[in-house]
Amino acid sequence: MISLAFVGNPNTGKTALINAIAGSDLEVGNWPGVTVEKKEAHFVYEGEKISLVDLPGAYTFSPYSIEEKITRNTLAFGKIDGIIDVIDTTNLSRNLYLTLELIDMQKPMVLALNMFDDFTKRGYRLDIQKLEAILGADAIPTVASKGLGAKKLIASAVNAVKARKIPHIQPYQEHIEKEIAFLQKKLARYPNLPYPPRLFSIKLIEGDEFAIELARKAEAEDVIEFAKEARGRLERHMKLPIKTIITRARYEVIDHMLDEVLTKPVVDKVVLSERIDNIVLNRFAAIPIFLVTMFLMFKFTFDASAPLVEWMGDFFDSYVGKYLTLGMDGVAPPWAISLLRDGLVSGVGLVLSFLPLLFILYFFMAILEESGYMARVSFLLDRLASKLGIKGNAFISLIVGFGCNVPAVYSTRTLTSYRERIITMLMIPLMSCSARLPIYALFTALFFTSHQALVIMSLYALGVGVALLIAYIADKILPKSEQKPFLMELPTYHMPTMRAVWALMKPKLEDFIVRAGTLIVAASIVLWAIVNLPAGSRPENSYLATAARSVTPIFKPAGFGDHWEPVAALIPGTLAKEVVIGSLGTIYGVETASSKSGSAKPDFMSDTIDMLRCLKNALINSVLALGHIRIETLQTEREPTPLQVKLKEQFPSPLNAYAYMVFILLYIPCVSTMAAIKQEFGWRWLLFEVAFLPLLAYGFSVAIYQAGLFFAS
C-alpha cells in the first residue's frame, strides 16, 4: 500500500482536491491520541492500494495551532510514503516556504499547482518544466474546484513513490550549509531519529523546541550542544537572530527560484477580492452587511426547510408507520409493534425529518466558509473578542454552533491557546442550535402567532447575550496563560463551486446521520421504554412520569411547574433537543397520525402517490421560500393538533411558554455536545457543564418569568 499525505497552506483547496480524486470515498476518523478529524481515502490505482491522508493546513513546520502540530507530527512520525504538496499558485512565494521545508524531509514528492486558472487569469506565466527541473519533483497544474489535473497528480505521485524520486535539496548560503553538514554528520551516529537528518539539523540549529525534545529523547545531548554552537557561530557572523537568518535564507532561495520561472504581468491589476473587501469590510457597511448575511442565512434555512421538514414528518408518521402497523398486524405482539412504530420509526423519522434543515444550513455555511467570508467575520469581530480573552476566529466556532453545537466544539481546535478554547467552549452550548428551532417553532406558533419571528430572534439574542456574559466572567476568573498573539490570513475570495461546497457539507451531514442518528434512535427507544414501563402502564404512571412528578414543583417559580408533562419532556431532551417535541407527543399519549387515519381504508397505491405529490409541493414551496414568495403554510387554518390542544391547556399564558423556551435554550444542549466536550476538554469540564448549564437555565427562566409577572401586574 502506498500512503500519500496532502500537505499545504490553509485555504489552498486541499480537501477539494482529495475529493476530486477520491470522490465519495473520504473517511473521517480521529488522529490517534487527539480528537482532530482525520480524513483518509482509500482506493486502488493500477493494481496498487492507495491511501490518501488529508493533513490540516499548515504554513510551516513550526506550529502555531494544534492543527499545525498534527500536520508536523504526522509528517515526522507517520508512515508516509510520499508527499503531495498543494500550492496556491496565486501566492507562490509564501506557499513555497513550506515546500522548502518539505523538500528537506527528502521524501518522494509532487507539487499540485492549485488554482492554476486564477493564476493565469491574472496574467502570470510559469515555466513549469524549469520549476520541475530545479525542484527535482513533478509540478502538476490543478484546478481542484473543477477536478482538473487530479488524475495526472495521482499518477505522478505514485510514480514518484515507486521510482523513489527524491526532490533536490535547495541549498542556502554556504556558511549555513556548512553548519547543516556539520550537524548532519553528528546526527549520523543516532540512526533511529524520527525526523529526516537534514530537516532535523536545520530545526536544531533554529532552536526548534520540538526537535530539541526529540534529540533529548534519543539521548543525543551532545548534538544539542553542537547545534547551540552552530547557532552561535551563525548569529555572530550575520549579526542577526537565528530565526531571521533562516527565514531570510529560505526567502532568498525562493526569490531566486521565482526569478527563473515566474513572469509577472506588467501591471498587477487590483484583484477582485480587494474590491469585494472594499465593500464588505467598509468601515460603515461591514457590520450591517454581516448582520444581514446572518439573518438571511437563518431565515432562508428556516423558510426553505419548513415544507420539507413537515413532509418528512408526515411521511414517517402517516405512511411508514401506518403500513408498518398494517403489515405486522397479527404477526407480532402489540407491544413489539408499538416499540417499532413509536420507538424506532418515530426515532428514525425524527432524525430524517431534521435533515432538510441541516442540509440547507450546512449549505449556506459551506458557501460562507468556502468563499472566504468566515475569515472576514473573525476580522470584524476580533475587537469584541479581545474583551473576552478570545480572538476573532472563536466567533466562527460560535456561528457553527448555531447549526450544531457538536462540530462547533470540535472546531475550537483551530484556536491557538487552551484558555481560548475553554472560553469558547463555555459559550458554544448557549448558541441556539438548529435542533432547538423546531421547539421554538411549535411554541411560538401556538402562543405568539403574530410575532413568531421576533420571539424566536429574541431567544437567539438571549443565548448570545448570556454567552458573552459568561465569557466575560470566565476571562476574569480563569488564570491568565501565555497567549499566542492574534494572526490570521484573509484568503482571497473564491467563487464556491458545488463540488467544494459538497466536500465541506458531506462529512457534517454523514456525521449527523450516523452519530446523532444512532443516538436519537437509541434515545427514542429508551424513551419508549420509560414511558411504557412498568409493563402495561399508561404514560401518566410510567417511570418517567414518576421521576418527573417529584421534581416538577421546583419549576413553579419558572412558570412551568404546575404540570409534570413539560418537565418530563426535558429529561429525554438532554439526549437530543429535537426529541422534546416527540416526547411531548408520547407523554401526552397523543397518538401519531397513523392511528387517526387508520379508520380510512388503506390503499397503498393511492397513499404512495399522495406522498409523492406532497413531496413535490414541499419542494416547490421550499424553492419559493428562497424567492420569498412563500405560500403561507396551512398551520393557522388547520385545526389544532391534539398536541397543540394539550399545550394550550398546560401553559396558561405566553409568558409561561417563553420561560419554558428559555429553559430549553440554556440547559444541557444534548449528550453529543457533552460527549464532544468530554473528548476535547476532559471529565472535569464535562461535569462542570452538566451542573452549571441547568442552574443557568433555571436562573434565567425564573428571572424572566418573575420579571414578566411583575411588569404584567
Partner 1 sequence: MTLADLDDKQKAIIKEMGDLGDLKRRLMELGVLCGEPVQLVRRSPFGDPLEIKVADTYLAIRKEDAEKIEVEPISQWRRRNRRRGA
Which residues, 6+ apart, have CB-to-CB distance to 153 below 8 Å?
Answer: 17, 21, 84, 110, 112, 140, 142
Q: Does 276 bind partner 1 (CB under 8 A)?
A: no
Q: Which stretch binds partner 1 (CB under 8 A): 104-112, 377-385, 403-411, 604-612?
A: 377-385
Residue 287 as a binder of partner 1 (CB under 8 A): the answer is yes
Q: Does 1 bind partner 1 (CB under 8 A)?
A: no
Which of residues 487 and 495 has its CB atom nearest to partner 1 in the complex?
Answer: 487
Residue 382 lies near partner 1 (rule: CB under 8 A)? yes
Identify the residue among 359, 486, 502, 685 touching partner 1 (CB under 8 A): 486
Strands 48-54 and 37-45: antiparallel
Nearer to partner 1, 59 or 319 (CB): 59
**Contact region with partner 1 (CB under 8 A), list: 128-136, 274-282, 552-560, 668-676:** 274-282
DSSP reduced 3-state for 170: coil
β-pairing verdict for 37-45 and 82-88: unpaired
Which is nearer to partner 1, 173 or 679 (by Cβ)? Answer: 173
| CB-based contact 22:41 (threshold 8 Å) | yes
Query: What residues from 631 to 690 belong to the interface with partner 1 (CB under 8 A)?
Result: none
Q: Is 383 in the site for partner 1 (CB under 8 A)?
A: yes
Asked if 380 touches partner 1 (CB under 8 A), the answer is yes
Question: Nearest Cα to 223, choosing from 192, 189, 174?
Answer: 189
Region binding partner 1 by CB under 8 A among candidate stretches 87-95, 439-447, 505-513, 689-697: 87-95
Q: Please report whether residue 121 would count as binding partner 1 according to CB under 8 A.
A: no
Residue closer to partner 1 by CB (options 62, 318) is: 62
Q: Count the residues of the shown chain that bind partner 1, applying the rule CB under 8 A.
A: 39
Residue 603 to residue 171: CA distance in whole angstroms:
79
Q: Which three cell numbers stand for residue 709?
A: 409577572
Alpha carbon 672 to its chain centroid, in Å, reads 14
Single out the residue of 163, 198, 132, 154 nearest to residue 3, CA to CA. Answer: 154
Q: Which grid coordinates are listed for 217? A: 529523547
Q: Which is nearer to partner 1, 103 or 575 (CB)?
A: 103
- Only segment of 78-86, 374-382, 497-505, 612-620 that touches partner 1 (CB under 8 A): 374-382
Q: Should residue 490 be labelled a site residue for partner 1 when binding is judged by CB under 8 A?
A: yes
Cα separations in angstroms, 337 against 322, 344, 591, 603: 11, 10, 14, 20
Residue from the set 386, 449, 550, 606 that interacts with partner 1 by CB under 8 A:
386
Rounded to the nearest whole angstrom, what is the least distance from the CB of residue 248 to partner 1 in the complex? 6
Q: Find the binder of partner 1 among 275, 484, 613, 648 (CB under 8 A).
A: 484
Q: Which residue lies nearer to partner 1 by CB, 323 or 486?
A: 486
384 makes contact with partner 1 (CB under 8 A): yes
Among 30, 129, 244, 263, binds partner 1 (CB under 8 A): 244
Pairing of strands 37-45, 26-30: antiparallel
Task: State how far the Cα of 548 lies from the Cα of 541, in Å rounded to an integer.
Answer: 10
Instruction: Check residue 284 for interaction with partner 1 (CB under 8 A).
Output: yes
Footprint (CB under 8 A) of partner 1, residues 539-598 = none
Does position 263 interact with partner 1 (CB under 8 A)? The reply is no
Q: Is the peptide bond before 652 cis (omega within 30 degrees of 0)?
A: no
Region 6-45 residues binding partner 1, contact defined as CB under 8 A: none
CA–CA gap between residue 656 and residue 702 (Å, rounded): 10
Note whether 251 binds partner 1 by CB under 8 A.
yes
CB of 423 to partner 1, least distance (A): 17
Binding to partner 1 by residue 94, rule CB under 8 A? yes
Least distance in angstroms from the C-beta of 259 to partner 1: 14
Cell of 675: 460527549
489 forms part of the interface with partner 1 (CB under 8 A): yes
* Cα dihedral 527, 530, 532, 538 sign: negative
Name the residue nearer to partner 1 (CB basis): 14 or 250: 250
Stretch that binds partner 1, among 38-46, 245-253, 642-650, 678-686 (CB under 8 A): 245-253
C-alpha cell at 209: 523546541
CB of 274 to partner 1, least distance (A): 8
Which span (276-284, 317-325, 655-663, 680-688) binds partner 1, by CB under 8 A? 276-284
Among 392, 407, 572, 585, binds partner 1 (CB under 8 A): 392
Q: Does 64 bind partner 1 (CB under 8 A)?
A: yes
Q: Three-class SS of residue 45?
A: strand
Q: What is the dihedral of CA 701, 703, 705, 707, to 10 degrees?
A: -160
**Which one, of 73, 85, 94, lies nearest residue 14 by Cα?**
85
Residue 378 or 672 having the CB closest to partner 1: 378
Please tell me whether residue 277 binds partner 1 under the rule CB under 8 A: yes
Q: Which of 90, 353, 397, 583 binds partner 1 (CB under 8 A)?
A: 90
Q: At what angle do helices 579-587 and 642-650 cross, to 10 degrees?
A: 90
Name the strand (E) or helix (H) holding 521: helix 517-532
Q: Is 475 in the site for partner 1 (CB under 8 A)?
A: no
Between the CA atoms of 666, 672, 674 and 678, what dihedral angle is there, to the nearest 10 degrees? Answer: -160
3-state per-residue secondary structure call for 598-660:
CCCCCCHHHHHHHHHHHHHHHHHHHHHHHCCCCCCCHHHCCCCCHHHHHHHHHCCCHHHHHHH
- The DSSP secondary-structure symbol of 539 reads G
Q: Which of 267, 258, 281 is nearest to 493 (CA)?
A: 281
Contact pick of 56, 313, 389, 491 for partner 1 (by CB under 8 A): 491
Kindly state the smallest distance separating residue 283's Cβ from partner 1, in Å: 5
* Separation between Cα atoms, residue 412 and residue 503, nearest integer Å: 20
10 Å Cβ neighbour count for 627? Answer: 8
For partner 1, which stretch binds (CB under 8 A), given 74-82, 280-288, 602-610, 635-643? 280-288
Among 15, 16, 51, 59, binds partner 1 (CB under 8 A): 59
Residues near partner 1, by CB under 8 A:
59-60, 62, 64, 90-91, 93-94, 97, 243-244, 247-248, 251, 274, 277, 281, 283-284, 286-287, 375, 378-380, 382-384, 386, 392, 484-492
